[in-house]
Structure 1
């Protein structure tokens, strides 16, 4: 009797597919659209044709660099680390597939009892020297699989396995919630119709740049 075919995770086939417009990716990572192009051009990020959409892997790498830059890391050190990790681990997307952490000065990954410092081309350091890993990124099977794009306390998640990687709350894309809100529907009706709690709905609208406390001219009146 033939063995049953192994389950294929089709979502993994989409990780490298262009899916996020530059402006959209920039908004998620909280950087200017021009910054996205500049970081790709100066090799802080991997190669990408000018104006081309970003894949999920490229989006996560953009988010990583933005977070590390915010923590105080120099772009020159990030570029050195990227080149080192990409070559050592033979991966075109080291920032999306390796568990990395920073103290605002160095970029490192666990290496047994030590830390492997990427921007120092593989120098080892004690783990106690460098502290945090960004908690908004979650790893699974060697990949950043879930990103809480609006921060660790927000319910907004980007996950390539859900809604083709669109930001969502409780499985409902934030863009859909924005459209329903912009059409004038009351919060309670959107919440009930799409089975999203009002708290999560409000968080999704805030992520989409909408303050749900503001009055709308086209709001439905019953």
Structure 2
């Protein structure tokens, strides 16, 4: 564990305590780019651009998620995967210009004092929301693309930001699980230290459960064989069926 002090001494920065970052979790190399793209359901070229930047119309652009290019196709860390999950969710709702997104992430990274600000619960606490509002304004993000909107004296997450936040589970301020299934009631989760970061329910890989049902076993039979509930088996099958569709 190591401590990073928030950058700067602005009024809003002073509202936040130093961040304790679990290097072993956030920096843990999880996936190849191809695997991460498949789990996030985004084109591999899109994911590579988010991570490494690239050339567009003769101009070279910096990465959005990473602070700097790593070169080639290095493994995707847990923190990078989580921030790409935010980009996936946000881009599905808003076609935000990448220039503005890049500026916003850079601003938020500097204000929170961590390389991957959206991998922390702290970004969504009240003081963190204030920092997001400030970062949005400094980055010149159009108000229709805001993550946090001041409403009636409160700092409210916009629908895309709320949908992203609801997919997450935290441990010690850090994202410990992400729900890949679009259904908010689903028990399918991706955890960095469970099944090597593959989608699972109750610690069992969803593809393993789906294969059993696809081979002819009943939901109840599979649940009994693996010692889990029929509900979890149904969610695993629902998730894998949606991916295959």
Does the alignment pair 1:61 with 2:83?
yes
Please list every run of 5 or more consecutive structure 2 residues that lacks an aligned counterpart in the other structure. Answer: 1-21, 54-62, 141-147
DSSP-derived class of the 1:127 partner: strand
8 Å contact from structure 2 (residues 108, 132) kept in 1: no
Does the alignment pair 1:119 with 2:141?
no
Picking from 84, 87, 103, the partner of 1:80 is 103
Does the alignment pair 1:29 with 2:40?
yes
Q: How is 1:1-222 mapped onto 2 (pairs within 5 angstroms)? A: 13-42=24-53, 43-46=63-66, 47-72=69-94, 73-97=96-120, 99-100=122-123, 109-111=128-130, 116-121=133-138, 127-128=150-151, 130-132=156-158, 133-134=162-163, 135-151=166-182, 152-181=184-213, 185-209=217-241
What root-mean-square deviation, in Å, do the aligned CA atoms of Structure 1 and Structure 2 show?
Answer: 3.2
Moved over 6 A (4+): none
Query: 1:150: Cα distance to partner?
Result: 0.6
Per-residue CA deviations over 1:83-118 (Å, capped at 9, x if unaligned) read 1122233322122125557xxxxxx9423xx85332
- The structure with higher relative contact order (CA 8 Å, sep 6+) is 2
Q: TM-score, normalised by structure 1?
A: 0.71
8 Å contact from structure 2 (residues 169, 177) kept in 1: yes
Instruction: Identify the structure with the greater helix proportion.
Output: 2
Do the aligned partners of residues 21 and 187 (structure 1) sit closer, same or farther apart at CA in structure 2, a change above 3 Å counting?
A: farther
Do the aligned partners of residues 153 and 27 (structure 1) sit closer, same or farther apart at CA in structure 2, a change above 3 Å counting?
A: farther
The whole-number CA distance in structure 2 between the counterparts of 1:189 and 1:54 is: 36
DSSP-derived class of the 1:19 partner: strand
8 Å contact from structure 2 (residues 220, 230) kept in 1: yes
